[in-house]
Structure 1
């Protein structure tokens, strides 16, 4: 990370925290998706990370986009993406947003209540509607079923109302929760979707879309893909005319972004007491030193509060050197953000070298999902900038550049 050396050069604001985004990691995830779930079209969840280069790359790779607001729709359309590649996947939308979607010719959108149907009938009667159903999301980091999703026993009445309003319902969507830890939640959800397809037929509709939502995790993707594919084969053995899409977010970007933070202050025992302390006398659960870094829970680490994450640091530099011996003794420490709020704690207890100094750097991996997108400038601290690369993953960098060039030429 050449940018780390700026601090030693005395450049203005050289110690600012920054992300490193490896776009080839996004490309690799897309290739992995196509290999394991070739029948399912990914519609990237923009809310997860609306980074402009990530969006541009995914547009070049031909993905669709799951948008939740006018702002997200306009951002994607500005890239030259056709409106047919967008699903307005917010079941409860402002009337003005529905009207704007109609003007932009974004027709595919979700609903889970009768009030939404009345709004759509008034402002976008030509919409292609997808009924969002409630599923079991009890094993997810973020339980979206607390806010969205129609229980199955309410669906027949919803479809009857849509029919009465002369609206076109084309399919079913669900979401097992963001960051689902149970692959079998997808099997249960697909079974529920099958029941709703049958309800649609009884209401006079012939559904042509199954949206399996998000909740895909990088570490468990192979297991999830296997369970999901088996469930689709079991409950939809004949799929003539049925399009299947999904709304992955963190799967694409989580490990593509890392964060580098600078230690701007520390509180430690006076003199060399910390360095001279016998390891046997140190409580591993009682921090003996507090490190303060230049990003926190109001910035990149908002994922701790909003996304239930527990990021852990790695040491990038020690006493000004980027060579960190593996044998360096560790001590219990706490890591804090830069604001004046005591809530701004990044790690209450973690293991770090007791000899870290002001000016040293800590690294944080898997910071691409629900991090920068929700960062604020509380206390006047700026949002961490992004440095882009396509080389860290080696293979894939050339493909990324070629995809971007082709997409830019097409958009022009």
Structure 2
């Protein structure tokens, strides 16, 4: 991770293009893409979260984007963190964040990762199987547990989490009994995740109702009163977010009237998606009839790998050193020798030249964190420049 941490440029919203031009001209030649992170966007999104979810503590899903400046900014704004591995835990701790602000939200953990969580004091995790209980009992018995339940199938979800994680209804009672009454561990709540980019707000109400049933089963079994409801993720900063929040808040009132209940969530893309802009250079060009093909210095083995699944969220803006009025049908390829390394196809762009810039917006979610060194192109150390935009 390469970050110009601490150097923040203040820029008006309409001055971003000029800033990008100056960074490219002064610090980056073709072959060296870079990111711009707008910290003001993170502040606005946290305000939006707190307004829509005043009683829900966000535990940012670190896997979405591990940029140190982003994680630090979120911590300063009051967020906690959802980690799934040793590396993610250590990334957060290395920034001076307390282990009490971390949930180890991976229902299936390697023994070495459980031992590490115990050693550094991460004492809250999820589980959904008897074997996981046995591992935690042996290697981290002081850890508090959230039972991960299988969420209802979410219509339109990009990646339904229930295919891999979560106990079935008939498994809940015996697993709770085993974890608490046999293993002697403390199950303090319930978690679920409806899936990435949920499109049906009502699915949250169903999941919360299912969580209520788990609380009731725990009471029936004589388990000490559970205190935490984890509503997972699936959020984007779109008009649908307010609708989801309304459904969640109403469902919590209906099914969990206890004012002492602690409600948490695991938002990922909600915070970084729109805050990051990726700047690439045109490194090659080929004209074939009415169509033009471009090569840029980023591709699907770097930041664009996830956009194979959600490219509709990405905005594209060319920045040419020369004005061009001719709009041509264009295809954009990444730098590798893989024919599948295609960023965009059959889009309309003004004709560009070598070293011109192509800027991609909404590139903060599951982008730079999945970079590789395939074909010898290092997509792991793409630098990030910090800005804060204002309305003037």
TM-score, normalization by structure 1: 0.85
Q: CA–CA distance in 1 between the matches of 2:312 and 2:333?
A: 13
| Counterpart in the other structure of 2:14 | none
Cα gap change, 1:44 to 1:93, in 2 (>3 Å):
same
**How large is the Cα RMSD of the aligned pairs?**
1.9
| Counterpart in the other structure of 2:368 | 372
| Counterpart in the other structure of 2:356 | 360
| Counterpart in the other structure of 1:86 | 102
| Counterpart in the other structure of 2:162 | 145
Q: Tell whether the 8 Å contact from 2:293 to 2:333 is kept in structure 1 after alignment.
A: yes
Q: CA–CA distance in 1 between the matches of 2:25 and 2:36?
A: 19
Q: CA–CA distance in 1 between the matches of 2:313 and 2:360?
A: 7
- Describe how 1:333-412 pairs up with structure 2 within 5 A: 333-353=330-350, 355-383=351-379, 384-390=382-388, 392-394=389-391
Cα-to-partner distance string for 1:97-120 (whole Å, 9 max, x where unaligned): 111111111110000011000001
Gaps of 5+ in 2: 1-17
| Counterpart in the other structure of 2:13 | none
Q: CA–CA distance in 2 between the matches of 1:12 and 1:240?
A: 53
Q: Tell whether the 8 Å contact from 2:30 to 2:355 is kept in structure 1 after alignment.
A: no
Gaps of 5+ in 1: 275-287, 396-412
Kindly indicate whether residue 295 of structure 2 is the aligned counterpart of residue 295 of structure 1: no
Q: CA–CA distance in 1 between the matches of 2:121 and 2:35?
A: 35
Q: Tell me how far 1:36 sits from its aligned partner.
A: 1.2
Helix, strand or coil for the counterpart of 1:110? strand
Helix, strand or coil for the counterpart of 1:181? coil
Greater mean deviation of Cα atoms: 307-316 or 145-154: 307-316
Cα gap change, 1:146 to 1:309, in 2 (>3 Å):
farther
Helix, strand or coil for the counterpart of 1:178? coil
Query: Given the alignment, which residue of 90, 111, 115 partners 1:95?
Result: 111
Q: Tell me how far 1:58 sits from its aligned partner.
A: 1.1
Q: CA–CA distance in 1 between the matches of 2:124 and 2:295?
A: 47
Q: Tell whether the 8 Å contact from 1:91 to 1:116 is kept in structure 2 after alignment.
A: yes
Cα-to-partner distance string for 1:309-338 (whole Å, 9 max, x where unaligned): 3455533323x23x67xxx34332111101
Helix, strand or coil for the counterpart of 1:217? coil
Q: Tell me how far 1:165 sits from its aligned partner.
A: 0.6
| Counterpart in the other structure of 1:208 | 227
Cα gap change, 1:12 to 1:374, in 2 (>3 Å):
closer
Helix, strand or coil for the counterpart of 2:339? coil
Q: Tell me how far 1:72 sits from its aligned partner.
A: 0.9
Query: Given the alignment, which residue of 251, 254, 259 partners 1:240?
Result: 259
Q: CA–CA distance in 2 between the matches of 1:334 and 1:36?
A: 40
Which has the larger share of strand?
A: 2
| Counterpart in the other structure of 1:53 | 69
Kindly indicate whether residue 171 of structure 2 is the aligned counterpart of residue 154 of structure 1: yes
TM-score, normalization by structure 2: 0.89
- Describe how 1:2-401 pairs up with structure 2 within 5 A: 2-5=19-22, 13-14=29-30, 16-136=32-152, 137-162=154-179, 163-205=181-223, 206-219=225-238, 220-236=240-256, 238-269=257-288, 274=290, 288-305=291-308, 307-310=309-312, 312=314, 314-318=316-320, 320-321=321-322, 328-353=325-350, 355-383=351-379, 384-390=382-388, 392-394=389-391
Cα gap change, 1:7 to 1:19, in 2 (>3 Å):
closer
Q: CA–CA distance in 1 between the matches of 2:174 and 2:333?
A: 52
Cα gap change, 1:71 to 1:24, in 2 (>3 Å):
same
Cα-to-partner distance string for 1:7-49 (whole Å, 9 max, x where unaligned): 667x773552111110111111111111111100111110011
Q: Tell me how far 1:77 sits from its aligned partner.
A: 1.6
Larger Rg: 1
Cα gap change, 1:369 to 1:243, in 2 (>3 Å):
same
Helix, strand or coil for the counterpart of 2:345? strand
Q: Tell whether the 8 Å contact from 2:315 to 2:362 is kept in structure 1 after alignment.
A: no
Q: Tell me how far 1:180 sits from its aligned partner.
A: 1.2
Q: Tell whether the 8 Å contact from 2:149 to 2:191 is kept in structure 1 after alignment.
A: yes
Higher relative contact order by CA 8 Å / sep ≥ 6: 1 or 2? 2
Q: CA–CA distance in 1 between the matches of 2:141 and 2:90?
A: 21
Cα gap change, 1:61 to 1:312, in 2 (>3 Å):
closer
Q: Tell whether the 8 Å contact from 2:194 to 2:203 is kept in structure 1 after alignment.
A: yes
Cα-to-partner distance string for 1:358-381 (whole Å, 9 max, x where unaligned): 221111110000000111121121
